Amino acid sequence: MGGSVLAIGECMVELLKEAGGGCGLRYGGDTFNTAVYLAREGVAAGYATALGEGDPFSEAILDLARAEGVATDAVLTVPGRLPGLYAIDIDAAGERRFFYWRQNAPARQLFELDGAERVVEAMASAEWVYFSGITLGIYSDTGLSCFHDALEAARAAGTKIAFDGNFRPALWGGDIERAREVYRRFLPLASLLLPSGDDERLLWGLGEGDDVAGRLAGYGAEEVVMKNGGGEIVLWADGCARTIDLPERVAPVDTTAAGDSFNAAYLAARIAGLSPEEAVARGDALARHVIMHRGAIVPRRECDTAP
């Protein structure tokens, strides 16, 4: 495996409830989080999205990306628009609920905006493109068609594609059949799948005993790495599946970005030439560190202490 990764999706303003009753202001989004953690792992990472132009929130997101070493050449800006916003409510077990205000965010029209050809060109020049089910869930049918065409062109140019299913029912307005149809169109494009078992069972109506990783591998991926809430990883590679037991589960402070950080460390390790098993260990180590901190992106001074 080799080189640069372009992540595609949406970065939003994050409101996180604090102990005193107020809210802290941060920034995050699943694929953006992965891009940041990829950069911290030493990978040449870039991000493709659309933001507002000149407002303090869009500027802060750009500043954060650049400070983290994430390239922003494929970020489009739209005057008069604002990025989306989400608030996190965390329960006593560290599990979180998200509340979104994102309907008018320009990221939703990325492939329909003036300048979208810049994103398409960046995809074809990257060695990897990374996106998620949330990326799919924010685009219109027109946007999805343009995105699919861009992914096919990138694959033809030699780009590999990594996809985290990250299924969120609310993004599909309860229309699970449409979600399934869209996933079926995009799954065959990926050579690396990084799903969550719970999400996939929910999306496809599968039970605990079903071979979820094997079903996904049937779409043509070379490698499937299925996360199962910190308990174990199902790794499908070289035509067979095996289960990797993880160390004893820790009590999280905040599970936000657990999967995003795992994906980053896993992909970075594979790019560096490590085996899938070694990459799983790297992914688990980073995810365990991230869930012991509040918010999607752990401050760099605290992340530097990660294993």
Instruction: Report the CATH number that the domain containing residue 123 is assigned in CATH.
Output: 3.40.1190.20
Which of 123-127, 145-149, 284-288 has the weakest average pLDDT?
Answer: 284-288
In a domain, 213, yes or no: yes
In a domain, 294, yes or no: yes
Q: Determine contact, residues 203/184, Cβ cutoff 8 Å.
A: no
For residue 17, the model assigns a pLDDT of 74
For residue 237, the model assigns a pLDDT of 87
Residue 119 has pLDDT above 80, yes or no: yes
Share of the chain above pLDDT 70, in %: 95
In a domain, 221, yes or no: yes
Spatial separation of the C-alpha atoms in residues 293 and 302, rounded to whole Å = 9
Q: Which residue segment(s) compose the domain that 288 sits in?
A: 5-10+29-81+109-301
pLDDT digits (tens, 9 = 90+) for 63-100: 999 999 999 999 999 999 999 998 877 777 767 778 88
In a domain, 216, yes or no: yes
Mean pLDDT of 144-167: 98
In a domain, 95, yes or no: no
Average of per-residue pLDDT values in the chain: 92
In a domain, 100, yes or no: no
pLDDT digits (tens, 9 = 90+) for 7-30: 999 999 988 777 777 788 899 999
Number of domains comprising the chain: 1
In a domain, 238, yes or no: yes
Backbone angles phi, psi at 75, to 5 degrees: -95, 120
pLDDT digits (tens, 9 = 90+) for 163-209: 999 999 999 998 999 999 999 999 999 999 999 999 999 999 999 88
Mean pLDDT of 23-49: 95
Mean pLDDT of 125-150: 98
For residue 120, the model assigns a pLDDT of 98
Q: Does 102 or 7 have the greater pLDDT score?
A: 7
Give the active site residues: 260
For residue 87, the model assigns a pLDDT of 86
Spatial separation of the C-alpha atoms in residues 242 and 49, rounded to whole Å = 36
Q: Is the pTM of this model over 0.85?
A: yes
In a domain, 258, yes or no: yes
**10: CB partners within 8 A, 6+ apart:** 29, 31, 32, 49, 83, 84, 102, 105, 107, 108, 134, 135, 138
